[in-house]
A and B are shown apart, each in its own frame.
Chain A
Amino acid sequence: LAKTTQPISMDSYEGQEVNITCSHNNIATNDYITWYQQFPSQGPRFIIQGYKTKVTNEVASLFIPADRKSSTLSLPRVSLSDTAVYYCLVGDLRTDKLIFGTGTRLQVFP
């Protein structure tokens, strides 16, 4: 399973765009990139998933370069409620488990 590396923490202000980058240098051909969000004392929540190029949904965008060795989660115009831990996961859809790393703790200030 590909190991991921992401910043331990990030700070932002309301209304700003936040980009969280994840490195996954040994990503395998069958691996997908998935991002989850976790609020304190709650279960993780799926945000977005992609394989290559760009994926966008109502919550975020995911940018994946051609070599797929990294990915960037982009949160447009964050609010205080976006304060959470964000996890980058890389895995094969044929496996039944999600491997969480330590995540990035995003703090949004007013």
Chain B
Amino acid sequence: EPEVTQTPSHQVTQMGQEVILRCVPISNHLYFYWYRQILGQKVEFLVSFYNNEISEKSEIFDDQFSVERPDGSNFTLKIRSTKLEDSAMYFCASSDSRGATEAFFGQGTRLTVV
């Protein structure tokens, strides 16, 4: 079964540092997403990406965040200057159609900012 893969599984970084979270979506999918889940809290939408541009983003996704699809297979989330409150599990997802349809989520990257 095809799957979304994320690397690394766990990243520890110092406050103020830049981090890049990486994702390989399912190969024939066209819609890509990042979500995050702070420990014990809800899964929160960050951003959606289609046709090489952001299609929708939440208020969480401020200027500190950016996404990129640098090649035909990777999809990255960059946090420019991490804050303690950025500590969370970050999930990448992809789907072959837009909207609240069947999105496939990766296993997540646990980001710890110290």
On A, residues with C-beta under 8 Å from B are 32, 34, 38, 41-46, 49, 87, 89-103
Contact = CB atoms under 8 A, between A and B. Distances in A.
Given A96-B55, A97-B58, A102-B42, A43 B48 contact: no
B42 A101 contact: yes
Contact of A45 (B35, B99, B101, B105): B105
6 contacts: A38-B43, A43-B93, A49-B102, A93-B101, A96-B33, A98-B100
A94 B43 contact: no
Secondary structure call for the B interface = strand
Contacts of B35: 98
A94 B98 contact: yes
B104 interface: yes
B47 to A, nearest CB: 9
B60 to A, nearest CB: 11
B106 interface: yes
Interface in B66-90: 89
A98 B45 contact: yes
A96 B50 contact: yes
